[in-house]
């Protein structure tokens, strides 16, 4: 078993899932740099990119090496058949390989006690993986805000804008991380939670009542899903923005990953 000083020199291994894309007619696996940096520098872990290999990905051997998983955002949408949804808009971007990988990965990770932080599409995947459902076009629903980014805005504005308030629900994990009753977040999503998965606890709500964050209190490890993008400009030295709320989320996730690492190494 490593000594305390040896632990201090170790880094928790944090999985960051990739998406599948076709580039120059060839299939690729791709992952956004900001997610890898959020895992590496924000959560202070050793990033491990998880390829969307579907049922070819050996989940249990993988989970034995992981101390946490950061589930990334993506412009693609989860196929509605995974949650009894209406057929998708044929123009809606999909990632079948990612769906086939992440949904079983989420269930296996929770059962194995691997901490999870789901971001945007990752948030939606956690809800669907556990039996929840999604609104496919929130902006078309009466009474709901348009939660999408303005594609005409520059990227720094799309992600740097604090688009709407969230009310942080009292007594939950998110309020432990950020002891406030409300704050503001960026918003870059067209889909959202319709039916929340059984056993999930609402952690934050948008002004229109849309669920913006949830946790799984009964899960053996830290499990937080957020609809916004805390991987954006969380770093205090970022020249353009500095979002301490986002930083607090990444640090809390990182602490849970380090705790898992200690448990994993102690059990060897
Ligand atoms: N497609 C879903 C999820 C939206 C999402 O994850 N946006 C971020 C995409 C780019 C990035 O990774 O930052 C929806 O529209 O709700």
Please confirm, yes or no, whether 257 is among the known catalytic residues.
no
Whether pLDDT at 2 is above 70: no
Instruction: Tell me the pairing of strands 116-119 and 223-226.
Output: parallel
Q: Range with the lowest mean pLDDT among 128-132, 181-185, 235-239?
A: 235-239
Beta-carbon contacts of 61 under 8 Å, excluding residues fewer than 6 positions away, are none
pLDDT in tens, 165-181: 999 999 999 999 999 99
Q: d(Cα 28, Cα 30) in Å, to the nearest integer?
A: 6
- Residue 172's closest CA among 200, 194, 192, 195? 200
Choice among 19, 120, 135, 257 that is catalytic? 120
Choice among 19, 125, 229, 257 that is catalytic? 229
Q: Which domains does the chain have, with CATH numbers?
A: 4-267 (3.40.50.880)
What are the two backbone dihedrals, phi and then psi, of residue 35, each rounded to the nearest 5 degrees?
Answer: -75, -40
Question: What's the confidence (pLDDT) of residue 7?
Answer: 63
Please confirm, yes or no, whether 229 is among the known catalytic residues.
yes
* 216 touches ligand 1 (CB under 6 Å): no
pLDDT in tens, 55-110: 999 999 999 999 999 999 999 999 999 999 999 999 999 999 999 999 999 999 99
For the question of whether the overall pTM of this predicted structure is more than 0.95, the answer is yes
Cα distances (Å, whole numbers) of residue 111 to 106, 150, 187, 219, 261 = 9, 38, 30, 8, 16
State the helix-helix crossing angle for 96-112 and 121-129, rounded to 10 degrees.
Answer: 70
Q: Is residue 203 classed as helix, strand or coil in its secondary structure?
A: strand
% of the chain beyond a pLDDT of 70: 96
pLDDT in tens, 191-223: 999 999 999 999 999 999 999 999 999 999 999
Q: d(Cα 201, Cα 110) in Å, to the nearest integer?
A: 15
Alpha-helical segments (H) within 64-215: 96-112, 121-129, 155-160, 173-177
Average predicted confidence (pLDDT) for the chain: 96
User: 191 with 136: CB under 8 angstroms?
Assistant: yes
Q: H or E stretch including 211?
A: strand 211-215
Alpha-helical segments (H) within 64-182: 96-112, 121-129, 155-160, 173-177
């Amino acid at each position: 078993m490593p000594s305390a000083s040896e632990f201090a020199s170790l880094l928790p291994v944090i999985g960051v899932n990739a998406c599948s894309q076709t580039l120059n007619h060839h299939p690729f696996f791709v992952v956004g740099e900001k997610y890898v940096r959020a895992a590496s520098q924000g959560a202070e872990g050793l990033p491990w990119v998880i390829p969307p290999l579907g049922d070819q990905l050996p989940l249990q051997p993988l989970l034995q090496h992981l101390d946490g998983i950061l589930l990334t955002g993506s412009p693609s949408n989860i196929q509605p058949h995974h949650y009894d949804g209406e057929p998708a808009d044929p123009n809606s971007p999909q990632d079948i390989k990612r769906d086939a990988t992440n949904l079983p990965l989420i269930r296996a990770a929770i059962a194995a006690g691997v901490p999870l932080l789901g971001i945007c599409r990752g948030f939606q995947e956690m809800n669907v993986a556990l039996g929840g459902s999604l609104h496919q076009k929130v902006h078309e629903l009466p009474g709901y805000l348009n939660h999408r980014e303005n594609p005409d805005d520059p990227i720094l504005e799309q992600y740097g804008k604090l688009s709407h308030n969230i009310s942080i629900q009292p007594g939950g994990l998110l309020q432990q991380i950020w002891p406030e009753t409300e704050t503001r977040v960026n918003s870059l999503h067209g889909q959202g939670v319709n039916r929340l998965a059984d056993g999930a606890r609402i952690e934050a709500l948008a002004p229109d009542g849309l669920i913006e964050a949830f946790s799984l209190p009964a899960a053996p490890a830290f499990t937080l899903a957020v609809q916004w993008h805390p991987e954006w400009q969380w770093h205090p030295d970022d020249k353009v923005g500095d979002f301490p709320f986002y930083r607090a989320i990444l640090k809390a996730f990182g602490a849970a990953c380090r705790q898992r690492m200690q448990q994993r190494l102690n059990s060897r």
